[in-house]
Chains A and B, each alone.
Chain A
């Protein structure tokens, strides 16, 4: 089902290939796009845009030693938006070729009664731009037989590793997405986004005790990059190590204590504690605990937090956002001071600032919102070993599951999937089920050590907001946070 353009001949950019794809497949030429936008502009509105999407997703999964099913899904459609002040009209349809003009008229009418004369839209395509994730082979074009063989190798490898491993579940998910955004100022931007992910989950059993270990990896790169045994075997080893470790884990202590967060995935702290609170919509509406804190100290000295959509090949990276704005490296907190929010077009305009390339949506069926890309803290100078030694008694959290935040009160939680007690500066017994809770606006003021070991996560994060999921990345060096509340069962 995937398109013939899926291999990059090395001469054209993602944007050019996507543009050609929509023109060839759906006859989306300049005049039909201009007509649709002209229809919307007949009403008294500020702005309108069309978002076209054609996405192929496949997934192959194994359990009980059998590749039980292959899935292939095709998603295509167009979303049309009209904007006037704070007001947005949105409509979408799965009929790409015919519907955009009709929808454009309807959405504009829904938000504006008055008509007006306007200049006809002239479509133009900006030159240049990022090309962060070119691939020679679309991941959805990698033969299913290759994926099946690979999963069987993973199963055999995992089962041979340790007799306590009683179940292995693994899956390979591949996505290839074409997008085209055309705005009423005439700007037309297209992109092709590959996304791959390998998931490994094992169940370890010892007597009556059972524990799951999970590890995954992915990003916007060639699926065959993960095919290297050195790479996937490391993932399987990790999943097994975590499952076996949790078989030995003790109950987690409860109460306030000093916490050391390891590098990489614990960056979810930044995502939950401050990232969401720095999204433009909540700050424009002043519903965020960070509203009115611009220019103020919100973190300890030395803490610099960045949201960067321009990292090559990363899961959270985008050449352009879903409104056509090129992605950027945006510094949110510089040396402890809040200096910027993440913006889409609507909120940037209402706040009188420039869009930052953070207007993202799950699909054509969703309206863009200010969203994170890859969010991380820059490295400091401390030795990670020394950071651990600096804590008398506390918790060392190395890996996490999910988290959540209440934007308005600023309270956030995230749950550790691998954590240890720290006793007299030494790593002690593993503990299970630790949940960390804190207050976004002050948590980073209690960071007192920053390691030199910044790492980004493995590329498995999905962020949810208003019912929309988008792929994101996080990163963190080893840090020490004083007096966080740890939710365990041991008093």
Chain B
């Protein structure tokens, strides 16, 4: 395909009527903004439909059907010392309503200040739109009844798992389809469609005075990628039951294992400190660490927007740049920030294809499919082996609260989990906190599990941190 200033129309534009209509709306909005006086403009249009059902006990408790659409217009107006920017959004797609919004956007932009860094990317747009297998056309026709059936199977498997499961918050199934069209005044116009399906079960276990909830879930781009509904319910029930009889432990310093449900939050927190915005604002504790060792040698962290069927996959980012595989941390060494066009320019670097954008907001940096590499498939430890190896410590299965400061790295969160003595689980634990410094925690990762399963956009195998402070009794 051609260079920066020629229209970079994607070759595989769908001929579907709806897609054509959407592209016409985007084209109209770009023209309207230019007519109103914008020097640069980009437009994001998202249309989607969602269905959600919840079954609790024997009752179908909730059925939701929704259609949503949103149009976001960003305009830039040239000024002496840079460009002035505004963003407007609406769900009213009538041509005259779009014309009014475009005029308003230009007036709003003129009222703001000139920013020497502001501007759209002038090239580097996605030249092809790879098929990332983000939906299965057969799933389009899935009936509400079929999803209700899934929720019922999960709920009944959870409720029947054990006599101590006597209640629940219900089991929920959802299916959504979305279509995204992004275009800009620099000649890029691209579109893609995606779907996501999920099933979530949250049973409650009771034994005497102790009442505990827990959950399990499955999600995917295609219905056939979801785990069996009954297995989801059983797993959720098993997790709730094992929390019965939870107690506090004495304040102490011990090794801590994060399981596959809690470890991803650590990866997400670390990577939030690699966003170009927090780097140029000097508000990340990792701001001066590019190229340096920030984690133990066994830690490699990757963000890849092009995994087939990935829940975070998309062919291009929120500014039309191709998504790609970014190795952020390799063998413990910090290799890359995550950048969109603006934060890249602030730092004198190229975008990493990491612009995330909603219709109502400016691009910001976001992750796509983010994970920490597991250890060797055969010689690496399973979670069970990691537990068996531990003389005394904590397995964390749930974290609550917001206790992480990305400017300082200080970490302190509420935790629940299982207490381990001499390689055996001795009792469940709750009402404790675990605290440390995120940088030290990554430096102290001394064991990494071999299984990696995506339950969402971010995944990690079980991880062991050599020592953390636990506050309890």
Contacts and interface: CB of A to CB of B under 8 A. Distances in A.
Interface of A: 1, 60, 63, 66-77, 85-94, 106-107, 110-111, 143-145, 148, 166-167, 169, 203, 205, 209-212, 252, 254-256, 285-287, 289, 365, 367, 401-409, 411-415, 432-435, 437-439, 485-491
B146 interface: no
Contact of A286 (B68, B108, B167, B403): B167
Contact of B412 (A60, A93, A107, A488): A488
A435 B404 CA distance: 10
Interface string B387-415: 00000000000101111010110111110
B412 A487 contact: yes
Contacts of A145: 111
Contact of B64 (A70, A86, A212, A367): A367
B180 to A, nearest CB: 17
B400 A148 contact: no
B212 A409 contact: yes
A386 to B, nearest CB: 28
Interface in B34-48: none
B414 A404 contact: yes
Contacts of A73: 88-90, 360
B61 A86 contact: yes
Given A205-B282, A285-B56, A94 B412 contact: no
A437 B434 contact: no
A209 B112 CA distance: 33
Interface residues of B, number: 80
Interface stretch (B150-158, B266-274, B465-473): B465-473
Contacts of A401: 402-403
B104 A1 contact: yes
Interface string B305-332: 0000000000000000000000000000
Contacts of B400: 404-406, 411-413
Contacts, number: 259
Interface of B: 56, 59-69, 85-92, 100-101, 104-105, 108-109, 111-115, 118, 144, 167-169, 204, 211-213, 243, 246, 248, 251-253, 281-283, 285, 360-362, 398, 400-403, 405, 407-408, 410-414, 416, 430-437, 469-473
A86 to B, nearest CB: 5
A210 B252 CA distance: 29
Nearest to A166: B282
Interface of B, secondary structure class, is strand
B412 A489 contact: yes
Contact of B63 (A111, A167, A205, A404): A111
**Which 9 A-B residue pairings sit nearest by Cβ, starting from the closest?**
A487-B433, A413-B414, A413-B401, A94-B91, A402-B402, A254-B471, A433-B410, A408-B213, A255-B251
Contacts of B281: 63, 167, 169, 203
A94 B410 contact: no
A67 B63 contact: no
Contact of B213 (A76, A287, A402, A412): A287
Given A66-B113, A70-B108, A86 B433 contact: no
A435 B434 CA distance: 9
B145 to A, nearest CB: 10
Contact of A89 (B63, B285, B414, B470): B63
B360 A71 contact: yes
A72 B88 contact: yes
Contacts of B113: 66-68, 148
A1 B433 contact: no
A210 B408 contact: yes
Nearest to B100: A1
Nearest to B281: A167
Nearest to B410: A433
Contacts of A77: 91
29 contacts: A1-B104, A68-B112, A68-B118, A72-B88, A72-B104, A87-B62, A88-B63, A89-B64, A90-B64, A91-B65, A94-B69, A107-B63, A148-B112, A148-B113, A210-B285, A252-B435, A254-B251, A287-B168, A365-B66, A401-B402, A406-B416, A408-B211, A408-B213, A412-B414, A413-B401, A435-B433, A437-B431, A488-B471, A489-B435
